[in-house]
Amino acid sequence: MTALAPVLQGFFTDRLITQRNARPQTIAAYRDTFRLLLRFAHERTVKQPFQLDIDDLDAPLIGAFLNHLEQARDNSPRTRNARLGAIHSFYRFAALEHPEHAHTIARVMAIPTKRYESSIVSYLDIDEIKALLAAPNPGTWLGRRDHALLVVMIQTGVRVSELTGLRVGDVHLGTGAHIRVTGKGRKQRATTLTGETVNVVRAWLNERRGQPDEPLFPTRQGRPLSRYTVGVVVSKHAATATAAGCSSLKTKQITPHTLRHTNAMLLRSKGVDIATIALWLGHSSTQTTHIYEHADPHYFWGSSAHPVGPWVTQQARNLVATLEDQGRAARLLVRDRDGKFVGPFDEVMRTTGARAIKTPVRAPQANAFAQRFVRTARAECLDWVLVRSERHLDCVLREFVTHYNHERPHRGIDLQEPVPYLTVRQFEHGDRVVRADRLGGLLHEYRLAA
């Protein structure tokens, strides 16, 4: 018996399963790597896999195998590096078991990962999202399942492996609706569901009628969907949306991970910081999440803790590009007199025919008024109110603005200076005071009874 067969079996049974307690997805990825490698070695050496020795899988053969992945199988450098990582892990284990093959193992371990260019993140815009969600046929069981699946993927940004692992019992649609997700490294997280997603998932669960331990999105036979099937579902409905008139999808390769990128970009466009997005997506480090800061700037305008002149000028270019994509043009741009707005900023706007207008000199005073109001609104109102929706927030702020402008005794009306000649009736003994409550008693207003 050769040395390769027992050490390879020990690598899977002892190292991955017993010692590391690796997840089934990790074991499957390593298995696929060595299935491809042994098949390639069999073609090159004309030996059966059980006849191969460690010296047969030397550095030249491993290098030829990696080239085969890229050239014959059309794998990307990222996939090549993942296969090489699995091989390196095996050879580190083999070095302890068979030190007599140390020279061969050292040469294989010296094979470096391949560098590659990082492309800009591909994602869907709002119109493309609507077209994709409208693609499934609501008149069929599969269509309703696929629609709910796409809604969950876009709104939560879960990975394919996380989606296929969802069970009916992982969904909570009551107060604080969310799904429980088990991500990489067995890390669990709860991902919040929006009201629209809750309605879609509730309708699907009413039709699904599964037990808590059954898959949320099953096949017709009730088994969990595979990662390949999810990819086919996404590609099929992307093609349907393209044929229905969404021509912009023709230039994009729509995969399940594209929907994950779409979710991150939606969060980024709403001003969510990178650290929060990393927690939402289940990233172990924010370094992975920083790719969304360098994505297509047409989708949102950036933010920075240090808005220097060149950065502000780039935001002007982003604004111009966004307006061009929308078939619109700016005629006037109002800006303040801050030193960040350097000459190139105005020049970018002039090239589009827009005129930059500076704010009045006393604009800082207006900014101070605005900042004072925001701070007061938070301290006296919003920090004490549970806002249920955007409409509720609008009603609360309207109530507070009316109170702020007209009823606060220590403020001038509409932030104006008090009128010196205004006659104020003095409070006399025996006068009756009437109290009116706003926002359920959070704010009080007092008046003399007629």
Task: Give the separation between CA 258 and CA 1, rounded to whole angstroms.
Answer: 47
Q: How many domains does the chain have?
A: 4
Q: Report the pLDDT averaged over residues 377-405.
A: 82
Residue 175, helix vs strand vs coil:
coil
DSSP symbol at 211: -
pLDDT digits (tens, 9 = 90+) for 327-375: 777 777 777 777 777 777 788 878 878 887 777 666 666 666 667 777 8
Question: Are 70 and 192 found together in one domain?
Answer: no
pLDDT digits (tens, 9 = 90+) for 59-118: 999 999 999 999 999 998 989 999 999 999 999 999 998 999 999 999 999 999 998 776
Q: Is residue 226 in a domain? A: yes
Question: Are 242 and 134 found together in one domain?
Answer: yes
Of the CA atoms within 13 Å of residue 334, those in its CB half-sphere come to 3
Q: Is residue 114 in a domain? A: no
Question: Are 187 and 321 found together in one domain?
Answer: no
**Token reading at 289:** 């999440």
Percentage of the chain modeled with pLDDT above 90: 38
| Residues, the chain | 450
> What residue numbers bound the domain in which 348 lies?
309-359
Average pLDDT, the chain: 83
Q: Is residue 115 in a domain? A: no
Q: What is the pTM of this model?
A: 0.60
Question: Are 185 and 328 found together in one domain?
Answer: no
Residues 440, 443, 449, 450, CA torsion sign: negative
Evaluate if residue 425 carries a pLDDT over 80: no
Q: Report the pLDDT averaged over residues 149-153.
A: 95
Q: Which residues are catalytic?
A: 159, 184, 257, 260, 283, 292
Question: Are 245 and 135 found together in one domain?
Answer: yes
Question: Are 95 and 146 found together in one domain?
Answer: no
Largest CA-CA distance found in the chain, in angstroms, rounded? 111
Question: Are 256 and 174 found together in one domain?
Answer: yes
Q: What percent of the chain is helix, strand and coil (3-state, nearest 5)?
A: 60, 10, 35
Question: Are 44 and 172 found together in one domain?
Answer: no
Q: Are the C-beta atoms of residues 309 and 342 closer than 8 Å to each other?
A: yes
Alpha helices in 114-194 (DSSP H): 126-133, 141-156, 160-164
Task: Give the separation between CA 248 and CA 132, rounded to whole angstroms.
Answer: 12
Question: Are 197 and 319 found together in one domain?
Answer: no
Question: Are 134 and 149 found together in one domain?
Answer: yes
Q: Letter for the amino acid at 450?
A: A
